[in-house]
Structure formats: structure tokens, C-alpha cells
């Protein structure tokens, strides 16, 4: 999956979870830039991302998911490894 | 298996509709109705969260009193994180027109909150307490001692009842523990997995004694697989015992119990017949040829579905029939088919006619003297389902799966008939209703058919008979009995010969709408006679598309054909067969003049082509080149 497509789908997830259609994602976007990105919503965000992309994040991977760049990177990795 | 609310219709365009509700300047009641209707789609947990946030925002000061909506105060007491379950619960309330306020106790503090009269729980004063303890907690709190665990729970139940006089719901233990020994795990003392199984069994008796209702999450997890409901990684990370992706169904299951307690469960199952409780069309295929019983997998599936329906009836669900058929043919399998499980006297109200089903459902509710909002309407045909959803949104209309083998599971998963007890009256109910039901004159129709048809985006495409469509054409000619003016049967060779005959006009018509392609549904054959008139030799149509203006569109096409040949008159003929009574008056209704009726009942009719005004329909008609299949 191309990075642009990942951003597009991930943006829709953010809009849904944080109930804000104006959110624009940057690699550096993190909990301090987005209202409502607390530990509770973080769990929901990960569950929704897994469902929308059809991927599963492992326990050790989840800890790295602190900003959008990491989300995109990890999703990309999941897709490239699934194609091998 | 993915966790879905699969009995609800698909949610295309749902997100845009939700935006509309947020933006508009509608009144409170309009907003409320829009939210309720949005909750009645097959939405996932993400959409459920969105809908909940919108509802909470729109009614952030609580629900206005003008709405006259039932409001329920629910306290969730748990030993781990439950907050992610709250949106699913509130949206399930919306789905049933109920507003649920949820109080979530600090997790692990459930006993303290019950004991302490100054706790927030006591201030909240719930109508219902749901105790949702995770299996880890249940197993560890008592060191795998079932009696101790139950004693602790009984204490909680009693405290809740004493303090609030409220309903108590206890969640069963989720089977989260892996095997230690395997298939015969029960032989191992101190197995947490065995503890969960045995605890759940013991819980049933304890809950019954204390009049506590169970929320059987272990059984729901068994439907989809425990991995869908519980993810060990998420448990370690966030102490969510139930995965967010199961939260919308969790909420629906919990609210079913609340609704059942308030008498909001459905009471009556209304069944279509053709392709719903047997395969095929009784009016066309006949008693010998409907698919039912041994001999085919589909036939056995219909029998199994009937058996499920009969069991529902035995536990107190009223049965009714709503079918587009002549009454005699609709009744014949009930009276004569050896494989039928359901019999005429299982059905409290039997409506077989050609009127629209919304009208008939109103009649059924009236005849049985129950609310329209207590009907569940089961029909394989998406046209009928959506008409009823549009006209009677109070009626539950499950989105039936393609495969009849899955009908029973679909209705069961929808939970329409959630019950909390079983009494002798339940056993007798169907019988009582049947005695009460009586024929009443039909009410004036208020069904907005034109509006419904408009929205269907129907497209009728036609072409003369061709090789591709030949088999289907011959099949229709030889099996259609009901909408068939002359019931002339032709072999494939005879039809092929008609294709070559320059004095014959042939039409095969297929109908598409927004629910899909209905395939070839109507056939017309018209022949030039010696007097230079066009005689309708054969006109037949599938009853599946009756009442959708295909008749009018067909006649429009035929008149155009007549004009292109320079023919002044079209002659129609009706030949009664005992099964085609429904088209007896077709030519009259379409504006033909009656010429004569013979002693055997045959009638002939005439239409002046020049005076004919094309009928207005909601169907877009187009000619397509070739390709009949």
C-alpha cells in the first residue's frame, strides 16, 4: 500500500475517533497536537486502525505508536511483509 | 467470524447522513428520529462511537422532556476497563428508541461503591445495575472457588436491590483461559478454564434464585470465536477484557435485556411464503415442485427453518403470514404438502392477496390487536423489505441472508424475541391469538407507493427474443401460471421459430433497480392476424415484480411496436385456467374495451392505438442489443 493511501485512510480513522473532520495528519502529529488523544482514545485509535487496515499490531509494536509517522511506518511494514 | 449486526441493512451513505443530522436546524424530535434511524443500520464499532458522540453532543443537556422518550439509568460495575463499552450500550438504546444514561464505577471499586451510601453510585441511583466482572478477577478473587465467588456476587446483588430496588444484570465469565490439559481439562483440579465453565453453570441457578438476569457473553463469544471478543494483548496493555470491535454487539445484547424487561420485545413473526419458508413460487411451480423437504439440501434447509419458527411459536411468539398469492394456492402446502412442518393452525393471521405488504401488515397488527411495533417481518425479497422499512419503520425487518440454511441464525442473532422468563401463558399464546384473530375489512391504503417506486431507480431493458435468452424465455413460458393471460406453452423449437417470423413481435424484458438485477421478468408475444390487427398471443410476468408498473411499461412498448407496423388495433385475450385469476381484469384496468366473453370464460379486448396515451411510470425504459442472460 502506498504512503499516500495510508495517510488518506488513517486520516479518516482520526476524523472518526476524535470527532474532528478538520484534522490534517503530519508525520510528527502526536497526542500533544490533537485534542482528546488520551490513553483511552489511544486504545480505540489502535483498534480502529487495525480494523480499517486489516492488520494486527503486536504488543511490542504498540509501544512505538506515539506519533502518526510511526503509525504509517508500521502499517507500511505490515503490508510489505504480507506481500513477500 | 467478524462481529456484525448483520440483520440490519447495510450502511452505505451512513457517514454523510450522520453529518446531515449534526448540521441541520431540525427540531429535537426530528433529530431524535434521525439518530434512531441511523442506529438501525449494520454499523461497526467505529461508527457506533461516532453516532454516540453525535447524540451526546446534540443532547448534551440531557433529553428534552418534550420528546417523551423512555430514559434509563444504568450503572456498570466492573473489575477492569468498561468505558469503551459505553457507546455501544447507548447506541443500542437509541436503536430501540430509549435514552440510556450510563454511570461507570471506578474500576475495582464495585463493592465499596455498593456499600458506601455516599458513593457516586448511590447519588446516581440507577434503574439497573450491570455487574461486569472480568474472568481473571473472578478466578483470582476466590482462588478458583466457585462457592466463594457466588457468595460474593450474591452479596453484591442483594446490596444493589436493597439500595436501589433496581434490576440486576450479571455478566457471565468469558472463557479467556488457555487449556492446561486439553480435551479432558475438566479432570484437572484448579484449572482456570474449568473454573469458568463450571462457574457459568452454577451462576445460572444462583441468578434464578435471586431474580438476577444474565448477560451471557460466553455464549456470544462462542458464536464468533473467543479471539474476536478477547485479545490477550489488549488485556495486558489496557485491561480491556472485551475487545472494542465487539463493543457494539455487547451493548446490543445488554440493552435487549433492558428492553425485554420493559415489554419492548417483539411479539409476532410475520412470514412471507415463496422462497422464505419453501423454495420456489407456489402459484407458478405448484404443490409438487416447490422445494421443501428431503431430496435437496435447500429443501431440508427450509424444513429446518420451519422447525425453528414452530419452536418460536411454542415459546409464545405469534405467527402470521403475509404473502402475495391467491389464498387457495398459498394455503395448499399448509393443507396438503407432506413435508410442511408449519400447519394452518400454527398461523394466527393468514393474509394472502396482491395488495402491498405495508397495508397488509397494518391489517395483521389490527386483526391480532397488537402494536405494529411488535411485528417482525421476514421476506426474502429486498423490494418488499425496503417498502416495509420505509412505510412502517416500527416494524423490524431482518436483512435475510441469501442462503435459507442461515435464516434461523439471522433471526436468532437479531434478538427480536429476547425473553426473561417462560410461563404457561406463553405456551398457550399462539392458540389464544388465533382464536381472537378475525377478518376485518381493509383500511384505506396510506402506503406511498409512488414515492417508493420513484426512489427505486427502476430500469426496464428489453430486446426481441434472441438465442442468449432463449432458455430462460422457454422456461418462463412453461412455468408461469399466475400472471399469464393465455398460458400457452411452447417448446424451444417453437419459440425459435417465432424469432424468425416477421409477422410476430417478441419482447423479453428485464428489470433492474437499486437492489440489483431481477433478470428477465416479463415476456410478450404479439402476432399480426389476417385483419391487420396485432393479437397478444402471450403475455406473462413474474409475480415478484407485480405492482411496480412493469405492466404499464410493457403496454407502452407494445403500442410503440404496433405503431411502427402501422397497426390500428391491439387485441388482447384472457384465457382462465384456475390459477391466473389475478389478471382477469388486467385489460380492463389498462384501458382496453371489452369485446366479448365466451361460455368457457375466455374474454377478448381491444385497444385503439391512435387514442392510446402512453402510461406514466417510474420506470426508465431502454432497448438493449442482444445479451439476454
- pLDDT of B431 higher than 70: no
Mean pLDDT computed over B493-521: 91
Cβ of residue A54 closer than 8 Å to a chain B Cβ: no
pLDDT, position B460: 95
User: What whole-number distance in Å separates Cα of residue B442 and Cα of residue B440?
Assistant: 6
Cβ of residue B84 closer than 8 Å to a chain A Cβ: yes
> Which CATH number characterizes residue A16's domain?
1.10.1200.10
Grid coordinates of B392: 412502517
Structural domain for A18, as ranges: 3-83
Condensed to tens digits (0 to 9), the pLDDT of residues B339-375 reads 999 999 999 999 999 999 999 999 999 888 889 999 9
Cβ of residue B46 closer than 8 Å to a chain A Cβ: yes
Condensed to tens digits (0 to 9), the pLDDT of residues B398-414 reads 999 999 999 999 999 99
The fraction of chain B above a pLDDT of 70, given in percent, is 96
Between A17, A52, A59, which is nearest B236 by CB? Answer: A59
pLDDT, position B64: 84
Between B46, B236, B240, which is nearest A43 by CB? Answer: B240
Give the mean pLDDT of chain B. 92
Smallest CA–CA distance from A59 into chain B, residue: B233
Mean pLDDT computed over B574-603: 93
**Which CATH number is associated with domain B456-623?**
3.40.630.30
3-state SS assignment for residue B323: strand
Per the CB < 8 Å rule, is A40 touching B83? yes
Per the CB < 8 Å rule, is A51 touching B245? yes
- pLDDT of B335 higher than 90: yes
pLDDT, position B61: 87
**Nearest chain A Cα distance for residue B157, angstroms:** 29
B53: chain A residues, CB-CB within 8 Å = 19
Chain position carrying cell 429535537: B28
- pTM given for the model: 0.84
Give the mean pLDDT of chain A. 90
What's the total number of domains in chain A? 1
Chain position carrying cell 453529518: B19
Indicate the class that CATH gives domain B268-447.
alpha beta
Per the CB < 8 Å rule, is B46 touching A40? no
Phi, psi values for residue A40, rounded to 5°: -65, -50
Homologous superfamily, domain B71-261? SGNH hydrolase (3.40.50.1110)
- pLDDT of B624 higher than 50: yes
pLDDT, position B435: 55
pLDDT, position B281: 94
- pLDDT of B546 higher than 90: no
Q: Among candidates B139, B30, B167, B142, which has minimal Cα distance to B80?
A: B139
- pLDDT of B129 higher than 50: yes
- Beta-carbon neighbour count of residue B124 at 10 Å? 16
Chain position carrying cell 434511524: B37
Residues 6+ apart with CB under 8 A from B502: none
**Nearest chain B Cα distance for residue A63, angstroms:** 9
Condensed to tens digits (0 to 9), the pLDDT of residues B205-249 reads 999 999 999 999 999 999 999 999 999 999 999 999 999 999 999
Per the CB < 8 Å rule, is B84 touching A13? no
pLDDT, position B504: 95
Cβ of residue B502 closer than 8 Å to a chain A Cβ: no
Condensed to tens digits (0 to 9), the pLDDT of residues B30-73 reads 999 999 999 999 999 999 999 999 999 999 988 888 888 889 99
Question: Which residues numbered 204-263 in B keep a CB inside 8 Å of some CB on A?
Answer: 233-234, 236-238, 240, 243-245
Q: Among candidates B200, B121, B199, which has minimal Cα distance to B166?
A: B121
B84: chain A residues, CB-CB within 8 Å = 40, 43-44
The interface pTM score, or ipTM, of the predicted complex is 0.89
Amino acid at each position: 500500500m502506498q504512503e499516500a493511501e495510508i495517510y488518506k485512510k488513517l486520516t479518516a480513522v482520526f476524523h472518526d475517533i476524535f470527532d474532528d473532520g478538520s484534522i490534517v495528519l503530519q508525520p510528527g502529529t502526536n497526542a500533544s497536537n490533537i485534542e482528546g488523544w488520551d490513553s483511552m482514545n489511544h486504545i480505540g485509535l489502535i483498534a480502529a486502525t487495525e480494523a480499517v487496515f486489516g492488520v494486527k499490531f503486536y504488543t511490542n509494536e504498540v509501544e512505538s505508536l506515539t506519533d502518526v509517522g510511526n503509525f504509517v511506518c508500521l502499517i507500511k511494514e505490515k503490508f510489505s511483509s504480507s506481500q513477500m | 467470524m467478524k462481529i456484525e449486526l448483520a440483520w440490519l441493512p447495510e450502511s452505505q451513505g451512513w457517514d454523510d447522513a450522520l453529518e446531515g443530522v449534526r448540521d441541520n436546524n431540525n427540531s429535537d424530535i426530528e433529530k431524535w428520529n434521525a439518530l434512531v434511524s441511523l442506529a438501525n443500520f449494520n454499523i461497526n464499532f467505529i461508527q457506533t462511537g461516532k453516532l454516540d458522540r453525535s447524540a451526546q453532543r446534540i443532547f448534551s443537556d440531557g433529553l428534552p422532556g418534550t420528546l417523551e422518550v423512555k430514559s434509563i439509568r444504568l450503572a456498570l460495575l466492573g473489575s477492569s476497563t468498561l468505558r469503551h463499552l459505553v457507546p455501544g450500550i447507548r447506541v443500542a438504546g437509541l436503536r430501540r428508541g430509549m435514552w440510556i444514561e450510563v454511570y461507570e464505577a471506578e474500576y475495582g471499586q464495585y463493592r465499596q461503591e455498593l456499600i458506601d451510601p455516599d458513593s457516586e453510585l448511590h447519588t446516581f441511583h440507577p434503574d439497573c445495575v450491570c455487574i461486569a466482572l472480568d474472568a481473571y478477577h473472578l478466578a483470582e478473587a476466590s482462588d478458583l472457588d466457585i462457592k466463594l465467588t457466588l457468595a460474593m456476587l450474591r452479596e453484591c446483588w442483594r446490596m444493589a436491590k436493597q439500595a436501589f430496588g433496581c434490576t440486576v444484570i450479571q455478566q457471565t465469565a468469558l472463557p479467556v483461559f488457555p487449556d492446561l490439559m486439553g480435551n479432558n481439562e475438566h479432570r484437572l483440579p484448579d484449572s482456570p478454564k474449568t473454573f469458568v465453565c463450571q462457574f457459568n453453570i452454577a451462576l445460572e441457578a444462583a441468578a434464578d434464585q435471586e431474580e438476577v438476569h444474565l448477560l451471557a457473553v460466553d455464549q456470544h463469544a462462542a458464536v464468533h470465536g473467543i479471539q474476536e471478543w478477547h485479545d490477550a494483548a489488549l488485556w495486558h496493555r489496557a485491561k480491556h477484557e472485551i475487545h472494542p470491535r465487539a463493543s457494539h454487539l455487547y451493548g446490543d445484547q445488554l440493552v435487549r435485556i433492558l428492553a425485554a424487561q420493559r415489554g419492548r420485545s417483539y411479539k409476532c413473526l410475520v412470514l412471507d411464503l415463496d422462497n422464505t419458508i419453501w423454495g420456489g413460487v407456489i402459484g407458478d411451480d405448484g404443490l409438487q415442485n416447490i422445494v421443501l423437504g428431503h431430496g435437496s439440501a435447500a429443501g431440508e434447509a427450509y424444513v429446518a427453518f420451519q422447525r425453528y419458527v414452530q419452536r418460536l411459536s411454542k415459546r409464545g411468539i405469534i405467527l402470521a403470514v403475509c404473502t402475495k398469492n391467491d389464498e387457495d394456492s398459498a394455503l395448499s402446502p399448509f393443507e396438503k404438502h407432506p413435508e410442511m412442518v408449519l400447519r394452518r393452525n400454527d398461523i394466527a393471521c393468514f393474509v394472502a392477496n396482491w395488495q402491498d405488504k405495508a397495508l397488509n401488515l397494518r391489517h395483521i397488527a389490527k386483526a391480532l390487536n397488537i402494536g405494529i411495533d411488535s411485528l417482525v417481518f421476514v421476506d426474502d425479497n429486498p423490494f418488499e423489505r425496503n417498502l416495509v422499512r420505509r412505510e412502517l419503520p416500527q416494524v423490524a425487518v431482518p436483512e435475510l441472508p441469501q442462503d435459507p440454511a442461515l435464516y434461523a441464525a439471522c433471526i436468532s442473532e437479531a434478538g427480536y424475541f429476547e425473553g426473561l422468563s417462560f410461563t404457561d401463558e406463553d405456551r398457550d399464546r399462539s392458540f389464544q391469538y388465533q382464536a381472537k384473530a378475525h377478518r376485518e375489512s381493509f383500511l384505506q391504503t396510506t402506503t406511498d407507493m409512488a414515492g417508493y417506486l420513484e426512489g427505486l431507480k427502476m430500469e426496464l431493458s428489453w430486446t426481441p427474443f434472441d438465442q442468449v435468452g432463449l432458455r430462460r424465455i422457454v422456461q418462463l413460458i412453461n412455468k408461469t401460471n399466475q400472471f399469464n393471460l393465455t398460458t400457452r406453452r411452447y417448446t424451444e423449437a417453437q419459440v425459435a421459430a417465432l424469432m424468425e417470423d416477421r409477422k410476430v413481435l417478441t419482447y423479453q424484458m428485464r428489470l433492474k433497480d437499486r437492489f440489483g438485477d431481477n433478470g428477465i421478468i416479463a415476456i410478450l408475444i404479439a402476432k399480426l392476424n389476417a385483419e391487420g390487427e396485432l393479437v397478444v398471443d402471450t403475455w406473462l410476468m413474474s409475480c415478484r415484480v407485480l405492482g411496480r408498473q412493469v405492466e404499464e411499461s410493457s403496454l407502452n412498448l407494445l403500442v410503440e411496436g404496433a405503431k411502427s407496423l402501422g397497426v390500428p388495433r391491439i387485441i388482447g385475450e384472457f384465457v382462465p385456467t384456475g390459477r391466473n385469476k389475478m389478471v382477469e381484469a388486467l385489460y380492463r384496468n389498462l384501458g382496453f374495451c371489452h369485446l366479448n366473453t365466451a361460455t368457457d370464460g375466455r374474454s377478448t379486448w381491444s385497444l385503439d392505438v391512435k387514442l392510446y396515451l402512453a402510461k406514466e411510470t417510474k420506470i426508465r425504459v431502454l432497448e438493449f442489443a442482444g445479451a439476454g442472460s
